[in-house]
Amino acid sequence: MTAALALQGAQSVLALILAPLITGIVRKTKARFQLRRGASILQPYRDLARLLRKESVLADNASWLFDLAPTVILAFTWVAAALIPVLGTDPVLASAADLIAIVGLLASARFVLALAGLDIGTSFGGIGASREVMIASVAEPAMLMLIFALALIAGSTHLPAITAFVQSPALGLRISLGLGLIGLIMVAIAENGRIPIDNPSTHLELTMVHEAMVLEYSGRHLALIELASSLKLLLYLSLIIAVFLPWGADIHWSGWPPYAERLLVYLAKIVALAFLLGLFEVSIAKMRVFRVPQFLGAALMLTLLAVLLRLVSGSF
Amino acid sequence: MMLVALLLCVAGLFAVAVAATILAANVPGRVLTYGATAALTLVALSLSALGLFGGGIETLRLPIGLPWLGANFRLDALAAFFLVVVNLGAAASSIFALGYGRHETAPQRVLPFFPAFIAAMNLVVLADDAFSFLFAWEFMSLTSWALVLSHDRDATNRRAGFIYIVMAGFGTLALLLAFGVLAGTDGNYAFAAMRAHAPDLQTAALVLFLVLLGAGSKAGIVPLHVWLPLAHPAAPSHVSALMSGVMTKVAVYAFARVAFDLANLSDWRLSAVVIALGGVTAVLGVLYALMEHDLKRLLAYHTVENIGIIFVGLGLALAFRANGLHAAAALAATAALFHVFNHSLFKSLLFFGSGAVLGATRERDMERLGGLIHRMPKTAAYFLIGAAAISALPPLNGFASEWLTFQAIFLSPHFPQWGLRFLAPAAGAMLALAAALAAACFVKAFGITFLGRARSPQAETGRETDKISLAAMAGLAALCIVAGAVPGTFTAALAPVSQMIASDHMPSRGLAAPWSPLVPSLGSANSYNGLVLLALLAAAIALVMLALRILANGTSRRAPAWDCGFPDPSPATQYGAESFAQPIRRVFGTIAFRAREEVFMPQPGDTAAARIHVRLIDPVWEAIFAPIARGVGFVADTMNPLQFLTIRRYLMLVFLSLVVLLAVLALWL
């Protein structure tokens, strides 16, 4: 019980500490491929420290919701990230680590963020919020269909159970899993506002989604929001690892402290994924906002196809 | 014993209704009526809760009504659960009305009908023969119709009342025919007699069709929902809450009573119809709601969505039961019934909130609201809880019941029929779409109404509503949180109902262990624990706040909004209800409503304003109701000359029709 609690605590803190680093690695990769030197991969930490030091400027008509929203958004995202088994499946929170609940927690965070975007009553906040909910209205069904496909394959929506099933030798090569992986990547790109859906480093008004919602935030509020979006990126990468790439977590080198190998393997995977994300982003252009539903519609169709294939035959 | 006490409560409500006509319009009259109604419904609530936990079946026959039939009443688990829903909603609504009723301009048009309406809903659930049921049903329709017309100076309300009474009459007719078919050739209208023999497939299909017309039109199944978004908002807000939160549930009860109990539908093809209708209803309902900018009408349309979710659950329960999968049927039925309960909570809460806004600003149009969070902070907080709950966001109760519905859908590979195996995931995709759109819809409803800057002088000056109304909202909001935190307790309480309609119940550790997680079926690895989630979130929020206090610069400064350097002082430049929904209208509305946008740009140098014209076509109204209305109009016009005949011609017509009738009778016999 104590060990499980300690593991859970370590996992939660690890997510919080690791998140800015992943953002830094993605930025650095992009910069190198664009033949720039780019900022250090530790720059996101420095940004957070700088934002925390500064005073926060609130708009004259900001309400209590605007003040409280960053804390709530970070808390929801953090809990969702902490529920993903990274270092091992933990019995303390096992009863809460349901994939639908994790998606629901992220939806709650988005709900609050979209409301915060509307609070000041500026046109940019509104444009961001209305586009965000439009994107979510297609991305969320795709995500739920993916969960449905996983539930059909692994017989559960419980994340540790899915991980255990994918690791087991019973699996073999599955077409439906492949379709699901592509669908999950597409959803992850949209949910994190990466290129080609949204550009996290733009302030060009016609293309902003996420940045438009958080435009009025500054100081410690902005630090919390930035940390929450880094954490969300880490969460989706960890989810891809937990569901589709769980291999290698059971290796054991003699003489190593427990969990150290798992941590190393996890770090290697997540850095590789962050590098791939950066590579993907420099090789593609951003699309028009009203092309996004087609992009996500494709993700929805892929995951639905995975479900149907799986229903037709257990061997797909 | 319990049944007699409940009937006495109903009689008491009728007595209050009669007394209210005499007490009329003065302040003590209002307080007495609503106070007595609240007290009686609270008594009925505890009685029905006892009946639900007691688990027994009580019947009673009163020598009134038809002489050979009498008036039969029955209290079983299904009835007891729906009585809990009815009386909880009614009690909350009466307490809210103690404060909110102050705003009523014509109280004598509301006070007598309000308790009578609640009494009629109780009677529908208690009735155990077709005559009492239909009598109570029609009484419920007529009292609510009178309440819809309490502000009849407004032409839109008169139109709403007209469409409502037509649809209600049509619905009762369909139910009458359904019971007629069920009663068979013996014509025994007692429910006990109908229960005794199972109908064959053709009869069952006919009964399902008629019940979907009758109960479905009252519940708001697409395409029979057209009256609902007109009539529910037209009534005073506490009555809107009753109609949307409670009366639609009485219609769900009617469907469940016939489908699971009286007709005992046991063919999977029939359940497929229910699942498909539910899925379509959920998606179209929320799309309609998103296109709306009248706050109360948005809420009413959104009821249509939730009814769709409930019917998907009920349809799945029928399908699992037809295949003998009782544990899965119990899961689906519990999910649907838990959603019935949850929806009655948050929909009443949201209508109360809209009533408080209406009372403070005299505005329902969201395009003329905004910024109310500053003037009405408590109402805003309660409305926010309701909005999050109805959007199925964890850790609140709406998520718990949708989670159960999804878990039921995940069991669809157990169906032996290919049709159901493919239909269930399709319904799941529709529910997922509806859930995501619901969140968008309530970001809009809360964000445009309570956040941003005031869009009209009324919104600028609105004041917080009275304490009693706030207390009613606080109670419902607290229930939403509790039902989300310990859903296991509520599903355990539903065990007798699912035992009755699905011959099994969900695994649970009983009422004694509220912290135990929700587990869909025995041996399943899936679980949801609202309490753990709530505790984690509270801990995370506390930790983040603590870290901020230690690490961060805690000072804040107020300044004008930044807005990328171009802030505009006019509130018209912020996003409104129409503009917020524009991306979704472009993505989904072009298919569902054939939405078209026309932009009129003035020529360069012309100072005329640019205009945008949006055209939406309601597919249901255009395809079904407009042709019917035209047909009725055509027939009425053609028959019009009959009104201006001489007395001799009328006598001749009477004679001719008599001859025709006799001839038909002679040929037939």
B217, B166 Cβ separation under 8 angstroms? no
From chain A residues 182-211, the ones with a CB under 8 A of any chain B CB are 203, 205
A-chain CB neighbours of B583 within 8 Å are: 130-131, 134, 289-290
Please state the rounded mean pLDDT for residues B247-253: 97
Closest CA of chain A from B543, distance in Å = 9
Count CB atoms within 10 A of the CB of residue A291: 12
What integer pLDDT is reported at residue B266 of this predicted model? 86
From chain A residues 229-268, the ones with a CB under 8 A of any chain B CB are none
Question: Tell me: the pLDDT tens digits for A194-250?
Answer: 888 888 777 666 667 888 899 999 999 999 999 999 999 999 999 999 888 887 666
What's the mean per-residue pLDDT of chain A? Answer: 88
Residue contact B562–A59, C-beta within 8 A: yes
Consecutive H or E run containing B199: none
Residue contact B421–A205, C-beta within 8 A: no
- Confirm or reject contact between A305 and chain B (CB < 8 A): no
What integer pLDDT is reported at residue A131 of this predicted model? 93
Q: Are strands A56-59 and B556-559 parallel, antiparallel or unpaired?
A: parallel
Q: Provide the percentage of residues in chain A whose pLDDT is more than 90.
A: 59
Measured in degrees and rounded to the nearest 5, phi and psi for residue B495 equal -55, -45
Closest CA to B408 of B428, B392, B384, B432: B428
- Confirm or reject contact between B452 and chain A (CB < 8 A): yes
B181, B203 Cβ separation under 8 angstroms? yes
Return the axis-axis angle of helices A219-244 and A99-119, rounded to nearest 10°: 160
> Is the pLDDT at A253 greater than 70, yes or no?
no
Interface size A-B, in CB pairs within 8 Å, comes to: 270
Residue contact A58–B568, C-beta within 8 A: no
Q: Which amino acid is at B605?
A: G
Residue contact A215–B583, C-beta within 8 A: no
What integer pLDDT is reported at residue B56 of this predicted model? 83
Confidence of residue A94 (pLDDT cuts 50, 70, 90): low
B-chain CB neighbours of A58 within 8 Å are: 556-559
B548, A220 Cβ separation under 8 angstroms? yes
B259, B208 Cβ separation under 8 angstroms? yes
Write the residue in B544, B568, B580 that is nearest to A71 by C-beta.
B544
> Is the pLDDT at A1 greater than 80, yes or no?
no
- H-assigned helices in A34-172: 43-53, 64-82, 99-119, 123-154, 159-167
B428, A148 Cβ separation under 8 angstroms? yes
- Confirm or reject contact between B531 and chain A (CB < 8 A): no
What's the mean per-residue pLDDT of chain B? Answer: 92
Closest CA to A80 of A313, A279, A213, A242: A242
Alpha-carbon distance of A157 to A104, in angstroms, equals 13
A-chain CB neighbours of B384 within 8 Å are: 65, 115
Alpha-carbon distance of B8 to B11, in angstroms, equals 5
> Is the pLDDT at A90 greater than 60, yes or no?
no
- Confirm or reject contact between A178 and chain B (CB < 8 A): no
Question: Tell me: the pLDDT tens digits for B579-626?
Answer: 999 999 999 988 888 888 888 888 888 888 888 888 888 889 999 999
Closest CA of chain B from A273, distance in Å = 27
Residue contact B393–A144, C-beta within 8 A: no
Confidence of residue B225 (pLDDT cuts 50, 70, 90): very high
User: What are the DSSP calls for B268-296, one per residue?
Assistant: HHHHHHHHHHHHHHHHHHHHHHHT--BHH
- Confirm or reject contact between A301 and chain B (CB < 8 A): no
Q: How far is CA B455 from CA B288, B338, B561, B576, in A?
A: 23, 38, 17, 9
A-chain CB neighbours of B366 within 8 Å are: none
Instruction: For residue B51, give both structure tokens.
Output: 């009946």
- Confirm or reject contact between A288 and chain B (CB < 8 A): no
Closest CA of chain A from B476, distance in Å = 20
- Confirm or reject contact between B581 and chain A (CB < 8 A): yes
Measured in degrees and rounded to the nearest 5, phi and psi for residue B534 equal -60, -45
Instruction: Pick from A51, A83, A90, A108 the residue to mutate for testing the B interface (most B CBs within 10 Å).
Output: A108
Q: Residue B15, class by beta-carbon neighbours within 10 Å (0-12 exposed, 13-18 middle, 19+ buried)?
A: middle
Residue contact A220–B545, C-beta within 8 A: no
A-chain CB neighbours of B574 within 8 Å are: 121-123, 125-126
This model of the complex carries an ipTM of 0.95
A-chain CB neighbours of B371 within 8 Å are: 61, 121
What integer pLDDT is reported at residue B233 of this predicted model? 94
Measured in degrees and rounded to the nearest 5, phi and psi for residue B600 equal -105, 110
- Confirm or reject contact between B279 and chain A (CB < 8 A): no
| Nearest residue on chain B to A110, alpha-carbon basis | B439
Q: How far is CA A290 from CA A183, A185, A304, B280, in A?
A: 19, 20, 22, 25
Write the residue in A55, A58, A115 that is nearest to B443 by C-beta.
A115
Write the residue in A65, A124, A130 that is nearest to B373 by C-beta.
A65
What integer pLDDT is reported at residue A313 of this predicted model? 75
Residue contact A205–B564, C-beta within 8 A: yes
- Confirm or reject contact between B567 and chain A (CB < 8 A): yes
Residues in chain A: 316
Residues with Cβ within 8 Å of B631's Cβ and at least 6 positions away in sequence, in order, are none
Write the residue in B370, B421, B540 that is nearest to A78 by C-beta.
B540
A-chain CB neighbours of B435 within 8 Å are: 140, 144
Residue contact B439–A111, C-beta within 8 A: yes
Residue contact A157–B563, C-beta within 8 A: no
Residue pointed to by tokens 């009669």: B18
Distance of CA A299 to the CA centre of its chain: 16
What integer pLDDT is reported at residue A286 of this predicted model? 86
Q: How far is CA B654 from CA B635, B645, B667, in A?
A: 20, 13, 20
Count CB atoms within 10 A of the CB of residue B165: 17
Residue contact A79–B533, C-beta within 8 A: yes
Consecutive H or E run containing B611: strand B611-615
A238, A86 Cβ separation under 8 angstroms? yes
Please state the rounded mean pLDDT for residues B2-17: 94
Angle B525-B528-B531 from CA coordinates, rounded to 5°: 140
From chain A residues 23-62, the ones with a CB under 8 A of any chain B CB are 52-62
Closest CA of chain B from A158, distance in Å = 5
- Confirm or reject contact between B569 and chain A (CB < 8 A): no
> Is the pLDDT at B79 greater than 70, yes or no?
yes
Q: Residue A99, class by beta-carbon neighbours within 10 Å (0-12 exposed, 13-18 middle, 19+ buried)?
A: buried
Please state the rounded mean pLDDT for residues B481-503: 91
Residue contact B563–A123, C-beta within 8 A: yes
B-chain CB neighbours of A118 within 8 Å are: 443, 447-448, 451-452, 575, 580
Confidence of residue A91 (pLDDT cuts 50, 70, 90): low
Question: Tell me: the pLDDT tens digits for B455-485?
Answer: 999 999 888 999 999 999 999 999 999 999 9
E strands in B212-312: none
Question: b/e for A260-271, b at 16 or more Cβ within 10 A?
Answer: ebbbebbeebbb
SS3 state at A221? helix
First to last CA, chain A: 39
Residue contact A55–B527, C-beta within 8 A: no
Residue contact A158–B526, C-beta within 8 A: yes
Question: b/e for B318-327, b at 16 or more Cβ within 10 A?
Answer: bbbbbbebbb
Residue contact A71–B391, C-beta within 8 A: no
> Is the pLDDT at A255 greater than 70, yes or no?
no
Residue pointed to by tokens 């109280």: B107
- Confirm or reject contact between A307 and chain B (CB < 8 A): yes
| Nearest residue on chain B to A228, alpha-carbon basis | B544
What integer pLDDT is reported at residue B550 of this predicted model? 93
Closest CA to B525 of A155, A90, A87: A155
